[in-house]
Amino acid sequence: MRATLSPDDDSSTPPTGALTRFLMFTLRVIRHDRAELTLAECLSACVPTRGEVLQLDTLDEHGEKSRPSTLWRVVSVTLNVPSVNSTPPTDGTPLVVRTVEVAVLPDVSLIPDFAAAAEQVLSESRL
Q: What is the mean pLDDT of the chain?
A: 80
For residue 111, give the 3-state DSSP assignment.
coil
CA 57 vs CA 33, 37, 50, 87: distances in Å: 20, 16, 20, 37
For residues 29-46, average pLDDT: 90
The per-residue pLDDT for range 7-20, each reduced to its tens digit, is 444 545 555 555 55
The CATH topology of domain 18-82+95-126 is Ubiquitin-like (UB roll) (3.10.20)
The per-residue pLDDT for range 81-100, each reduced to its tens digit, is 999 999 999 998 889 899 99
Q: Beta strands 99-106 and 25-31: pairing type? A: parallel
> What is the residue extent of each domain of the chain?
18-82+95-126
For residues 95-120, average pLDDT: 78
